[in-house]
Structure 1
């Protein structure tokens, strides 16, 4: 297991909010190798003590889940070196003589990935070293392809980790067990029995504090292009003949390749974009997105995105997959919902079909629920709704900690492969282009609402582009 982690861009939010708490949790669980050390590199005018104080202050919100002793032990093995990471000589001097493999973690804006990769590659890292890039991997298909070419020139693919922290979430990993270890579900997991699938990540959070990053990214790039498409791949992929790195990533790529690239007509009918305006969440007044510090209204950045996709294969032909995410909404809703088709016969004398069964996988908090129909109490000829649910364990360590442990041990199972990253952009790119051209209106919704009303529609038969009635 690798014993040295070098964080490039260590003064940023990613390091203090996610990486360092994850490392402390691994230390607390006694999963770090003996002699593990962290070197933070950034341009800020700090020394090691100042960097440690900065991290300690920022890690306070994680204090309930991290023992003080574990946090202090990790900080004691953390160093800081001021360096311009684009300067090869400065970087070489900061790292010193390198003889053992290390992890070079690019905790940087995507715009700095390419020049930093070139600089790091020129140092000729010790054999077995790993390079980690956070999402988003590129800004469109061409940039992702160019970045992949640059990486392939200097690093073997097995040493490159493209990170999506959703894949480290326990509930996301539970999708595999739910699908492939339960005979009761797999025979129903297809177009014959499934009506549609919702993949939702709604947040009450606004973009306050992150507007400078978010305004250049938007909801479609920030969430759907990576996180939600990863969930779609896990929900929709074919069964594995065995659970290993190659089999899992091959099946995910197969599914993404089957996702239809939408035409301009389909984009107009099957996508919704919006931006939150002034409103209130609970009793908290929210300013309009365009009034947030760091936002350029001329960019017309969306804070809400909904895309209905079709998977053109035998298993899922005609089943809509609705991917939805938004900021400043009425409630947090982070789930995958499998909506099954209704029963074919009205047995109980009712005028309408009973509500269909829904299997819900909640991602935060971790929960699995199943909605079923039963007889109403005391009435043989009436129906009632029952909710079966189970809370799931957290798995002991947070998502980032699981992913870091995989990186240190060289396990790529939960890393995004080069072709997988490109397939995600192939799906999203025509939508981005249509939105940029104004082909789909940018709708405004009040903060604290359920989002644009237009987003309530669903398409039952995506391949026919036939919208169904609005969903309640």
Structure 2
């Protein structure tokens, strides 16, 4: 039986159907899944929101969104004509439990028409403060009782801190079974991120080297050229540590550091990720001072355009203590990684938008070549580029052509565009398909979320209780504050950046 055949008739109920997430990500992803034959023959997409719209108005809005944001370009009229017949809209007050009865009626109508029970996916594409009330009203309306067919998808952030994450998880697991709860982190759906596991566990070449004996350190950098824009009101209560490191970057670290799972079962894979988080060294106040850096961007110029500093952004607090940059040195205290530093950094208004994992291998124990033979260092690197290019490159030393023994760094490169002609799916396409299939491998489990919060709470508490006196401390179009360079330079390293064209 193919994967296509396993997908049961499905009803999607998208809370926040008129919102930005549905417009930019969910609707284009569902349409692309339809184009490529991954949606079941019988499906329904019900958007909900407070805005009064007819089904036809909702369909027209989604057509405009798909034409603008889909990776496959504008919708073909003949394909859209079929797809849009499965789109519906329902005005909803999520606080009113009576509203949910209408969802139940519509689902029953579809099941009667299809002559079969359907899988139902409730997607909470709304602000986090609505998660509890929607979950409770779904349960009160008896719309989540069929645990084998009903799933609820919750976007990040899962909580604002450890306590709120625990409260939300307790609520969700009281109302639903864990197998019904899909906590989504779109980074885990990216093609190159998924390939980390394939690269590590489907090849025998690297496994003997994947430990403290051969790896010097690991860097994970996720940087953005964009500022906060119109999101300053939300971002001021979040910051880079909460917004990026607690979820995206720690997820990447887990994939790099996890032990080989016994099999590809969802819980087995997630158990190994939780093991990593539990093994990570906790921070004392002194550790926070020595092993973390925070920053906030000032005004500057990016690509010839003047941009404001964070405190000058619309709705931003002019005396804000919120960090737009964070760098942290972590350690995983287990047999494989003891003593190997993991450097994580993320920031806005940086010189380049990129997501790169760099595994730096140790020097050869003894060089037989004279010092003048080397142009630069001798170290080997494995570089996993998630964006803007998708590639995995191994940097090694080789002799440069000529009569002298001169060593150069050369790249062995696997890149998606050069290897495959098919266009890679967007992250949300992968994650929505897995939700339909009931596969939770790429989704976070409750204990995993809480372990990540537990790890960073000492940093958050220290930063909140100690106002930074030097904000803003890095200019737009830079690589962050100088103290971030000092953090890694103290250990004899430097931050690695991959040029956009992939060349040195």
TM-score interval for Structure 1 and Structure 2 normalised by the shorter chain: over 0.9
CA RMSD of aligned residues (A): 2.0
Q: Which moved more, 1:62-71 or 1:106-115?
A: 62-71
- Cα distance change on mapping 1:95 and 1:300 into 2, 3 Å: farther
2:297 corresponds to which residue? Answer: 276
For residue 457 of structure 1, give the secondary structure of its aligned residue in structure 2. Answer: helix
1:178 has 2:207 as partner: no
User: What CA distance in whole angstroms lies between the structure 2 residues aligned with 1:220 and 1:416?
Assistant: 18
Q: Tell me how far 1:371 sits from its aligned partner.
A: 1.2
Structure 1 residues 161-193: Cα deviation after superposition (integer angstroms, max 9, x where no partner): 001111111111100111112222111111111
Structure 1 residue ranges without an equivalent (≥5): 461-466
Cα distance change of structure 1 residues 299 and 93 upon mapping to structure 2, 3 Å threshold: farther
Shift of 1:122: 0.9
CA distances 1:199-233 after superposition (whole Å, capped 9, x unpaired) = 11111122223333323221111111111111100
| Counterpart for residue 445 of structure 2 | 417
Residue of structure 1 equivalent to 2:239:
218
Q: TM-score, normalised by structure 2?
A: 0.88
1:291 aligns with 2:312: yes
Higher mean alpha-carbon deviation, 174-183 vs 19-28, is at 174-183
Q: Does 2:80 align with 1:59?
A: no
Q: How many residues get paired?
A: 466
- Could you say which residue in structure 1 is the equivalent of 2:89? 80
Distance 1:432 1:377, change over 3 A: same
Give distance in 2, aligned partners of 1:2 and 1:218: 40
SS of the counterpart of 2:378?
Answer: coil
Cα distance in 1 for residues equivalent to 2:370 and 2:46: 70
C-alpha distance 198-263 of structure 1, shift in aligned 2 (>3 A): same
SS of the residue corresponding to residue 370 of structure 2 reads coil
Instruction: Tell me which of 93, 97, 118 is aligned to 2:136.
Output: 118
Per the alignment, do residues 395 and 63 of structure 1 end up closer, same or farther by CA in structure 2, a change over 3 Å counting?
closer
Say whether residues 1:6 and 2:27 are aligned partners. Answer: no
Q: What is the Cα deviation at residue 119 of structure 1?
A: 1.6
Q: 1:376 aligns with which of 391, 400, 413?
A: 400
The residue number in structure 2 matching 1:318 is 339
- For the Cα contact (< 8 Å) 1:277–1:444, is it kept in 2? yes
* 2-structure distance, mates of 1:457, 1:121: 52
Show the counterpart of 2:113: none
| Contact kept in structure 2, 1:21 and 1:66, CA below 8 Å | no
2:324 counterpart residue number: 303
Structure 1 length as normaliser, TM-score?
0.93
2:240–2:324 CA contact under 8 A, matched in 1: yes
Shift of 1:48: 2.3
Pick closer, same or farther for the CA change 1:59–1:68 going to 2, 3 Å.
closer
8 Å CA contact 1:204–1:328 kept in 2: the answer is: yes
State the match for 2:466 in structure 1.
438
Query: 2:46 aligns to what SS in structure 1?
Result: strand
Greater shift, 157-166 or 344-353, is seen at 344-353
Question: Deviation of residue 379 (structure 1)?
Answer: 4.6
- Say if 1:132 and 1:163, in contact at 8 Å, map to a contact too: yes
Give 5+ residue unaligned stretches, structure 2.
1-7, 109-117, 496-504
Q: Which residue pairs with 2:52 in the alignment?
A: 45
Return the offset for 1:440: 5.9
Q: Which residue of 2 aligns with 1:463?
A: none
Q: Is the 8 A contact 1:199 1:228 kept in 2?
A: yes
Tell whether 2:390 aligns with 1:362: no
